Amino acid sequence: MTDPVLDAIRRRRVVRAMSDEPIPRERVERILEAARWAPTAGNRHLQRFVATTHPGVLRVLRMVSPGMIQHPTAAITICVDRALAQRYGFPSDARGPSVDVGTAMATMLLAAHALDIGAGPVSSFSRAAVSVVLSLPEGWSPEMIVCLGRPAPTQLAPMVSTRHLGWRDLTRWVPDRPPEAPAQVEE
């Protein structure tokens, strides 16, 4: 049986070659709406999303982001509202807000895939420069940029191939064998 959600999880790939065809704002809004449903630590929703389709802003974002290989036509920067996290009592080294960035990012990538939009996350950028380019409010730290655009017909090869890795390579069972299924009792 194929399940559309499992199928999308398996088929989604990072897109690092994008055409210059713009994507409608409505699609970006649908991706943002999907990310709103990502799980968050304590259900506090400390992530803040900064969206742009402005060519000038995108160009400068790319200039300060060595990890941005693609030329996106839209981008969503996922920030953490650190000031709000502090008000809610999260310690400064709490894992929750950082994990929330990951849940939002993964949800955006899948939502984009579902909408036939190419998407690629970028973590390699100057936080100070991105904060200035996006005029981020005091207390917001930019953590991840999700690039969006129409996939170009030819994609770049993955930086590192992990085709050999299966879930068994990533997993340990404790104890080392799953429990036996209970024997069927004949009535």
Ligand X SMILES: Cc1cc2nc3c(=O)[nH]c(=O)nc-3n(C[C@H](O)[C@H](O)[C@H](O)COP(=O)(O)O)c2cc1C
Contacting residues toward ligand X, per CB under 6 A: 13-14, 16, 67, 69, 120-124, 158-159
Residues for the chain: how many in total?
Answer: 187
**Closer by beta carbon to ligand X, 120 or else 142:** 120
* Closest separation in Å from C-beta 184 to ligand X: 40
* Of residues 105 and 134, the one with the C-beta less far from ligand X: 105
* DSSP secondary structure, 123-187, as one string: --S-HHHHHHHTTPPTTEEEEEEEEEEPBPSSPPPPSS--TT--GGGG---SSSSPPPPPPPPP-
Is 86 or 123 the residue whose CB approaches ligand X more closely?
123
184 CB-contact burial (10 Å; exposed 0-12 / middle 13-18 / buried 19+): exposed
Residue 121: CB minimum distance to ligand X, A: 5
DSSP string computed for 52-65: E--HHHHHHHHHT-
Using the minimum distance from each CB to ligand X, give the nearer residue, 18 or 50: 18
Torsion sign (Cα): 82, 87, 88, 90: positive
CB of 44 to ligand X, least distance (A): 21
Pick 15 or 28: Cβ nearer ligand X = 15
Neighbours of 70 (CB within 10 A): 22
Query: Whole-number minimum distance, CB 185 to ligand X, in Å?
Result: 44
CB of 123 to ligand X, least distance (A): 4
Q: Which is nearer to ligand X, 16 or 62 (CB)?
A: 16
Q: Least distance to ligand X from the beta carbon of 122, Å?
A: 4
CA dist., res. 136 & res. 133, Å (int)? 8
